[in-house]
Structure 1
Amino acid sequence: MSDAVLFDLKDVSKKFVKGKEQITIFDGLNMQINEGDFLAIMGPSGSGKTTLLNLLGGVDQPSSGQISFDQKRIDKLSEGQLAQWRANNIGFIFQFYNLMPMLNAFRNVELPLLLTNLNSKERAKRVENALKLVNLADRAKHMPNEMSGGQQQRVAIARAVVSDPKLLLCDEPTGDLDRKTADEILETLQLLNNEFGKTIVMVTHDPSAAKYAKRTLHLDKGEFVTQADTGATQGVK
């Protein structure tokens, strides 16, 4: 894992207003993630796991504090700038795949590339490579309803990596899968981390899934309460 800091969160607070009540998710959170890290985030429901992913992905903005990516602040970007930044740097993987049911695997994987300046031949080459990476080259023309849950999630992973992002954000990526299929998905994520240098942040409730990460952080009430290493150097403070 590189020593270069990819993400730097300084005194980040996040608050929501619900009716007359103000709910504080984070209050003065500090965190660093190094390039090449594979980080699992665990914690009870309501601890702030998904909110943290949304902040890292620029889907949500902090109420106060600073969030820097590759030494550039993203908390000050406009919505349009954030959309472009996400397209260039972030791949999202969700629990329920979020595939377009009317598009085949090839077209689903191609979707992020439609926002780029690549021509159709260049897009096709990238899609083919991404499907090969997840061992689904032979399923390119299959529709989502013609594939198993594990195959659909692998299509989702191919879609997430097709634009070659620096960071993959995974929200319960194996939560809807059986153990064997979940392990196959997690091995794919490990491959992307070890062989292709992708930085990965994965929210999970499953200790077995967390073991595939280099490190695990536990969130509770918006704070990191314990930390366990599974073999990597430190990257989150």
Structure 2
Amino acid sequence: MTCSITLTDVSKTYQRGQQRVDVLRSVDLQVGSGEFLALMGPSGSGKTTLLNLIGGLDTPTSGTIKVNQQRIDQLTRRQLAEWRSQSVGFIFQFYNLMPTLTALQNVALPLLLSPSAKAQRNRRAEIALQLVGLAERLSHRPTELSGGQQQRVAIARAIVADPAFLICDEPTGDLDRESAAGVMDLLQRLNREHGKTIVMVTHDPKAAGYATRVVHLDKGELLEPTGAGAGLS
């Protein structure tokens, strides 16, 4: 499943008491189908807000957001929730795994609302875990896995329903350098070999180097792209 994303004149404003906070200002951004985009910028620049808008976790104050030509900014909360479940895979800095469930059960969670049988859900979860290199860890619980392995389980959970694109918020922020490189190798492979469109927020230049394009936010405004990431070995 391919995916293109277009933001046109998107702004986001919050009201904090009597104070108006302009988090994003007239952002124009296009993410091509199969692109791996890294968003960088200082803390408070609006990166996570922009990521939340693209992923349908929030709605803009003004402007339009299209995913595969669908205006997601016009969807109701209920419609957005349904759209997210079908279209977006989320990967966060902290893995958000259920501690009492095995890796297989954690990965199968997004499929519980689908009409498929348990055996079919488990098979899809197995395939996702094989893809991220954890075929031998199906029955392990999060406390029995390293940080890098837990993030791989989280990635398997994000891709198990075959979403149109992946949203990654600091996916290596809680990992050591070796584990971070393994996770970024995996994300790059999902992009290159499986055609997944990826939008990632990161503070890490090494992680950004895996992307096909890097853009910067500063004080709510999108700066000119700095070019393609070169990738790391």
Paired residue total: 229
- d(CA) in 2 for partners of 1:167, 1:31: 16
Deviations 1:82-140 (A, max 9, x none): 11100111000000111111111011000101121211121111101000001111111
- Runs of 4+ aligned structure 1 residues displaced above 4 Å come to none
- d(CA) in 2 for partners of 1:28, 1:54: 16
**Secondary structure of 1:227's match?**
coil
Unaligned runs of 5+ in 2: none
From the superposition, tell whether residues 215 and 182 of structure 1 become closer, same or farther in structure 2 (CA, over 3 Å).
same
TM-superposed CA distance for 1:45, in Å, is 0.3
Partner residue, 1:152: 150
Deviations 1:9-33 (A, max 9, x none): 1111100011110100112111111
Residue 74 (1) aligns with residue 72 (2) = yes
Partner residue, 2:206: 208
Query: TM-score normalised to the size of structure 2?
Result: 0.95
- d(CA) in 1 for partners of 2:76, 2:3: 23
Partner residue, 1:183: 181
Partner residue, 2:60: 62
Superposition CA RMSD, Å = 1.3
State percent identity of aligned pairs: 58
Residue 3 of structure 2 contacts residue 197 of structure 2 at CA under 8 Å; is this kept in 1?
A: no
> Which amino acid in 2 is paired with 1:71?
Q
Unaligned runs of 5+ in 1: 233-237
**Secondary structure of 2:203's match?**
coil
Residue 130 of structure 1 contacts residue 162 of structure 1 at CA under 8 Å; is this kept in 2?
A: yes
Deviations 1:41-88 (A, max 9, x none): 100000000000100010000011111110010111111111110011
TM-superposed CA distance for 1:230, in Å, is 2.2
> Which amino acid in 2 is paired with 1:33?
V
| 1:133-144 equivalences in 2 (<5 Å) | 133-144=131-142
- d(CA) in 2 for partners of 1:115, 1:7: 26
> Which amino acid in 2 is paired with 1:59?
L
> Which amino acid in 2 is paired with 1:79?
R
Residue 5 of structure 1 contacts residue 32 of structure 1 at CA under 8 Å; is this kept in 2?
A: no
